[in-house]
Amino acid sequence: MQNEASGPGAGFVYVQTNEPERNRVLAFRRAGDGTLNPAGDYETGGAGDGKPHLTSQGSVVLTGDGRYLLVTNAASGDLSVFAVGPDGLTMIETVHTGHAPKSAAEHAGLVYVLNTGEPSLAGFRLNGAQVQPLAGTARELAAGTDPAQVGFSPDGATLVVTQRGTDAIAVYPVAGTGQLGQPLVQPSPGPTPYGFAFTGRGGLVVTEAFGAQAGKAAVSSYLITDDGAAPVSRSVGNGRSEICWAVVTNDGHYAFTTNFGDGAVSRYSIRDDGSIALDEAAAGLAVDGQTGLRDEDLSGDGRFLYAIDADHQRVIGWAVGEGGSLSPAGSWQGLPATAAGLAAS
């Protein structure tokens, strides 16, 4: 009989501690039924900012091939790269990126890191066990942009940055050499564009972190075109509070958003034309009406959704069922209060 911990659907969940003197990655082994067990902690060689959370999405990400884990160190200004193995993580390198990096993205070995202290982008190449800065990729962002996330489109042809301070979404064309063209900037339909996720068909789902006012939370959708991010559905509310993070299911039919202000995961349906509609405002719950839900990710097979419940210092999970339904899969304690960023395989 195959062991459930290593059977079909097994994987890992990774969370960074964001601790100020010794930033670490906490690894959890995921069994085939979605349950998690501690699987070690790994020093990043850098320092977190020690705050209760990072104001971003994508501070911990897996590369598209699943071979590497990228972790931003907000206080020490660098990116840690780990090789992912069946028995744990192996440090490859920690490289300088800029001031207060909080989000990273990768496509086919090309990596961009979003620095937020002095807003900028920095590019790198992953070549086996080497991480090489890419000449001509440093790009300063305009003052006051207050960026939240960087991410590649599924084909790698564009790089997207959400700009909270200017309520805008910037789309950069990516050359074959990895350098960026001039950005095409689209005003956001709602205030404070924050976390986002792509659909497989080139659609873009962006959260709008209005703030902690009850009922002030929304999501917009876009299609990426030669003219930038073209709005499709504008500021679709969910009646909850403070949406900040988004993921899209493997089939591209649903988006899950975490509502920091009230402990709910909302589900939006995604149509073929890129438009979205609210399916269920509270498809999943941590503690209803209590703050805490933050960074989230889907397992590689799409069967489980995991999120950080920072206020209760735990990872909480749901099984993803028919029609995007969510059912509780468990919760696992042991996170420090500063934990931020989550990636699942």
3: Cβ contacts below 8 Å, ≥ 6 apart: none
pLDDT of residue 1: 27
Residue at token pair 């099984």: 319
Helices then strands, each counted (H, E), the chain: 0, 29
Report CA 244 to chain centroid distance, whole Å.
10
| CA separation for the pair 217, 296 (Å, rounded) | 17
Query: Quick check: 235 and 216 in contact, CB under 8 A?
Result: no
| CA separation for the pair 253, 65 (Å, rounded) | 22
4 DSSP assignment: T
| CA separation for the pair 71, 99 (Å, rounded) | 15
Other Cβ atoms less than 10 A from the Cβ of 202: the count is 17
The per-residue pLDDT for range 210-233, each reduced to its tens digit, is 765 556 789 999 999 999 999 999
Query: Quick check: 164 and 154 in contact, CB under 8 A?
Result: no
| CA separation for the pair 19, 21 (Å, rounded) | 6
Stretches where the chain sits below pLDDT 50 are 1-6
The residue ranges of every structural domain in the chain are 13-344
pLDDT of residue 288: 82
| 303-319 per-residue burial string, b: 16 or more CB within 10 A, e: under 16 | bbbbbbbbbbebbbbbb
Query: Quick check: 337 and 310 in contact, CB under 8 A?
Result: yes
2: Cβ contacts below 8 Å, ≥ 6 apart: 8
What is the amino acid identity at position 297?
D
Give burial (CB, 10 Å; 0-12/13-18/19+) of 272: exposed
50 DSSP assignment: -
- State the sign of the Cα–Cα–Cα–Cα dihedral 292, 295, 299, 303: positive
* DSSP labels, 89-136: EEEEEEEE--SSEEEEEEETTEEEEEETTTTEEEEEEEETTEEEEPTT
pTM as predicted: 0.95
The CATH homologous superfamily to which domain 13-344 belongs is YVTN repeat-like/Quinoprotein amine dehydrogenase (2.130.10.10)
Residue at token pair 């995921």: 30
pLDDT of residue 212: 54
